Amino acid sequence: AGGEALGPRATPSLAPAQPAAPSARPWPAVRTVGAGEPVEIGRGQVLTLGADQVCHRDTTEPGGGVEDTCKSVSDGNQAAGSVSIQSSGALLRPLYIGPGRAARMTVEVDGEVFRAQVLTLEGNPGYAVGYAWGSGVSFDGPTPKVRVSDAEGKLLAEFP
């Protein structure tokens, strides 16, 4: 076994592997929760869905975050067939109110698109809420873009 060369040796690439394109990743499954069931969504944040409101609690606040911030889904402040967005720092919370079954929500902030986990109640509550962790939304920055679609990809609502 001599020391003869067998040809050029392949060198491993030092370039980082490219992450899967967003369209190649599977969408998170819609999570159905019970009314009044606290849902821990990470980073000390809790969402609770009810028949007529969605509540958010930050348990990292002094006293363990005993106060909920709630948004009505039935008072008429948001039209049926529309989506709104709430933000608490890096937490992005789209809220869809309407007849369709929301299965996919995205929030675009400064050109970066975040896929939201969709939460809904059993049955046909007439709304769904999502949550995603992003870089946050500033009142001084550009308006985030939100899109809500059903499981087949049909657009149900968008904001703005």
Report the number of distinct structural domains present in the chain. Answer: 1
Range of the domain at 79: 27-159
**Per-residue pLDDT tens over the stretch 43-97:** 999 999 999 999 999 998 777 776 789 999 999 999 999 999 998 888 999 999 9
The CATH number of the domain where 61 resides is what? Answer: 2.60.40
Identify whether 19 is part of a domain.
no
pLDDT band per the 50, 70, 90 thresholds, residue 41: very high
Identify whether 12 is part of a domain.
no
Say if CB 132 and CB 92 are below 8 A apart: yes
Residues with Cβ within 8 Å of 126's Cβ and at least 6 positions away in sequence, in order, are: 73, 74, 80, 97, 98, 99
Identify whether 101 is part of a domain.
yes
In this structure, is the dihedral angle defined by the CA atoms of residues 95, 67, 63 and 61, taken in order, positive or negative? positive
Identify whether 15 is part of a domain.
no
Identify whether 8 is part of a domain.
no
Identify whether 117 is part of a domain.
yes
Strands 31-33 and 112-121: parallel
Identify whether 22 is part of a domain.
no
Q: Which two tokens stand for residue 79?
A: 């039209």
